[in-house]
Structure 1
Amino acid sequence: MLEPRQDGKKRVLWPWAYAAFVLAVALLRSLSELQHYLARGGEHAWEPFLWELSSAALTGPLSVLVYHWHVAGIGAPLLRQVRRHAGGALLYMLAHVGGMFGIRFAVYALMQVDYDAGTVWSVLGYEAGKDFIGYTLTVAICHGLFHMQQSARLRAELAEARLARLTEQVQPHFLFNTLNLISSVMYEDVKKADRLLCRLADLLRSALAAQQQGWHSLQQELTLIEPYLELMQARFGDRLQVHWRIEPQAQAWSVPSLLLLNPVENAIKHDVALSRGTVSLRLEAGLIGDGKQLRICVHNSGVVAERLEREGGLGLANLRQRLQAAYGAGASMQIGPAADGGTALELLLPARGAA
């Protein structure tokens, strides 16, 4: 699936985005300082850039360290955190001032320009106040970022837990309906009923594995649906005709496990089982919107939409809730009369994580 690679790309891009942000801020400050420098009669236009960039070269990495330093101390007693940050502020100031003026002295020597920074105590006195404020603001920002990340993680875990709970409801629902269908065969053909029960056991094992996985590809979802349809075809014979229209590029799309079991089961329970004639069940899947959405359609030729919506309420309600838990407002489900007759249930799904 594509999601892990996308998450990996995000992790790789974040340091570069942060470095670009720090550099952009330093350049803007340099341009501002350049105006004052030239107004004072400065002779070397590169000096303001050196001053600001040398500071940013230290504050950028140090802010990352401050974040980890702060996070490592969260949860400790307040007095211990105060002592921890008092030491952290002192180390921050010494590292910032030492590194910043080290860069400046090196560049001035390379450019063969005199640089009078003042005495050590005057430099520390000037920089200490700014660094203390900078350290305090950095800690406050880091604290906010940490709790934002924790909140996002908890929301994601809650959504996954809700999705898992809804998925657990799928198996009993279709299991009871399938057992009811099989029970009608037992008095007619015991051997056939036995074969159907064995096939159902295989299907349940596959469904349990899919449920534990949470998400899988559309191809895996269809592979899970196939045994169920084979079981139903064995039950209904030629009365159930199944057709597949699956675009190859759609098969790798990630979907919640057991997503299609309820729609397919509803179409069979409320159409084939109640019809004396032949019913066609068609499964379609393809990408739309320049490949940004997956369209899945479950089309059955017999039952009208009103009856399917009314009698399949539990399964359809579960499906709506699962879409909401997995995608938020990013996914949609529509059920209604199909253009070529019968009823069509259409799902439009974004890429995982697009909600």
Structure 2
Amino acid sequence: MKNRIDKKLFGILLGYMAAYHVIYISRRVILKFMDESRFVDMDWSVVVFGPVLCNFLIIPPLIISILFVTKMMIRKNLSWYSSLGLHFVFSILYAFLVILLNTIYNYFVYGDPLELFSRAAFVNTLYGSTLNFLAYAGFVSIIYSYYYFQRISKAEIQKTQLAKQLQNVKMQALKSQLNPHFLFNTLNSISSLIEEDGYKAQHMIGNLGDLLREVLLVKDEDMLSVRREIIILNKYIEIMQTRFSDHLSVETNIDKAVEEALIPSMLLQPIMENSFEHGYSYVSTDLRVALSISKMDNWLKIQIQNNGTPIPVKGHNSGFGIRNVQERLETLFVDNFSFSFSNLKNGEGVITEMKIPLMIAQNDAV
């Protein structure tokens, strides 16, 4: 906390003082209407404006003093009984100063007798001490409450920032695991193709260069539009179609309404790769993969289906790519998503289904 005056807090304290005076003046007006002896001969302007003009001259400087003293106590982190004792002493001093300054004001403005140490002055001090004590207690309560909620607010902001930083670190770690894994598998595919068909291998290397360029452009982005993600995915699919030729067909069905919806970057590629890697077998030599992305209420629904080899019932390991996808979804959405990876009911293929919150991208330039 700095030593300067917090203008917002000072404004709140002045507002409290104004509300206090509304009640105080209302009481004086009621007593005037009831012909209470003390107010019978008092002019209405004095009844209404007398205490206001005086107190709005003398109390704001006292408020600033209370503000500085209370901030100092908070900064020094005094124990509650030390703070309570000091505030009790200062409340008495505050009440005395208000009465003293009121008496001096009335002497100069209304010509009232300046009796600072008379019996009447003592009675007047006692009469006003309760209200002044409550006013002081109100000022101090507001100050403590203000800084308490300010600390809580700052703590929540810091907590949110730390959580976001931790999320970013974890996402970067997961993506750094994914990229070498993807690159190794693609290079392995190219290597196996070189002896079989040098032209196709050369074509795959060109496609891989294009793909890596796209991946590098989005390496620091956690979320992309569906449109951008599909552009990147298509470059990977071109590489795989070059490798498997007529034995691979991929169909994509993207709802136009979700083209600008946000999706975790490089989310689809590991699942596609898993379909290619585990879908082929001696039995399944022609692989068909279907990708669909659509809107379902407030969710983005993603479905990838293939007619390849089913998942073994026992001893199945979902593989690095699928685990990476699940961990990234958990990091980004905690438990606000769904993910399933299972065999088709007819036993002729595998289906992966995901649902994530539907969020629309504002700007996502290609």
Which TM class, normalised by the smaller chain length? 0.5 to 0.7
1:344–1:276 CA distance, 2 compared to 1 (3 A): closer
Q: Give per-residue Cα distances to partners, 1:133-170, cap 9 Å, x unaligned.
A: 11111111111111011101111221122112111221
Could you tell me which residue of structure 2 aligns to residue 50 of structure 1? none
Matching residue within 299, 323, 327 for 1:317: 323
| 1:145 aligns to 2:65 (yes or no) | no
- After TM superposition, list the pairs within 5 Å mapping 1:169-248 onto structure 2: 169-248=177-256
Matching residue within 309, 314, 338 for 1:303: 309
Give the superposed CA RMSD: 3.5
Cα displacement (A) at 1:95: 6.8
TM-score, length basis structure 1: 0.65
- Between the aligned partners of 1:270 and 1:164, the Cα distance in structure 2 is 27
1:87–1:157 CA distance, 2 compared to 1 (3 A): closer
- Tell me if structure 2 keeps the 8 A contact 1:93–1:132: no
Could you tell me which residue of structure 2 aligns to residue 345 of structure 1? 352
1:178–1:274 CA distance, 2 compared to 1 (3 A): farther
| 1:129 aligns to 2:132 (yes or no) | no
1:119–1:174 CA distance, 2 compared to 1 (3 A): closer
TM-score, length basis structure 2: 0.64
- Tell me if structure 2 keeps the 8 A contact 1:218–1:255: yes
- After TM superposition, list the pairs within 5 Å mapping 1:251-270 onto structure 2: 251-270=259-278
Cα displacement (A) at 1:310: 3.1
Cα displacement (A) at 1:93: 3.9
Could you tell me which residue of structure 1 aligns to residue 335 of structure 2? 329
Q: Give per-residue Cα distances to partners, 1:154-187, cap 9 Å, x unaligned.
A: 1122112211211122111111111111111101
The worse-fitting range, judged by mean Cα deviation, of 343-352 and 126-135 is: 126-135
| 1:97 aligns to 2:17 (yes or no) | yes
Letter in 2 for 1:343: V
- Tell me if structure 2 keeps the 8 A contact 1:285–1:296: yes
Could you tell me which residue of structure 2 aligns to residue 43 of structure 1? none
Cα displacement (A) at 1:88: 9.3
Cα displacement (A) at 1:350: 1.5
Could you tell me which residue of structure 2 aligns to residue 40 of structure 1? none
- Between the aligned partners of 2:243 and 2:53, the Cα distance in structure 1 is 93
Q: Could you tell me the percent identity over the aligned residues?
A: 24
Q: More helix by proportion, 1 or 2?
A: 1
Cα displacement (A) at 1:303: 1.5
- What SS does the corresponding residue of 2:17 show, helix, strand or coil? helix
1:265–1:307 CA distance, 2 compared to 1 (3 A): farther
- What SS does the corresponding residue of 2:300 show, helix, strand or coil? strand
1:309–1:335 CA distance, 2 compared to 1 (3 A): farther
- Between the aligned partners of 1:273 and 1:171, the Cα distance in structure 2 is 26
1:83–1:209 CA distance, 2 compared to 1 (3 A): closer
- Between the aligned partners of 2:358 and 2:315, the Cα distance in structure 1 is 27
Cα displacement (A) at 1:338: 1.9
Q: Give per-residue Cα distances to partners, 1:255-290, cap 9 Å, x unaligned.
A: 1100111000110111237666311010011111xx
Q: Give per-residue Cα distances to partners, 1:326-346, cap 9 Å, x unaligned.
A: 110011211112246311011
Flag structure 1 segments of 5+ consecutive residues without an equivalent. 1-80, 106-112
Letter in 2 for 1:297: Q
- Tell me if structure 1 keeps the 8 A contact 2:284–2:308: no
- After TM superposition, list the pairs within 5 Å mapping 1:104-119 onto structure 2: 114=48, 117=51
Cα displacement (A) at 1:91: 7.7
Flag structure 2 segments of 5+ consecutive residues without an equivalent. 26-46, 57-130, 361-366
Count of aligned residue pairs for this structure pair: 266
- What SS does the corresponding residue of 1:310 show, helix, strand or coil? coil
- After TM superposition, list the pairs within 5 Å mapping 1:5-20 onto structure 2: none
- What SS does the corresponding residue of 2:329 show, helix, strand or coil? helix
Q: Give per-residue Cα distances to partners, 1:73-130, cap 9 Å, x unaligned.
A: xxxxxxxx4966899977864575369869x99xxxxxxx946647846986653331
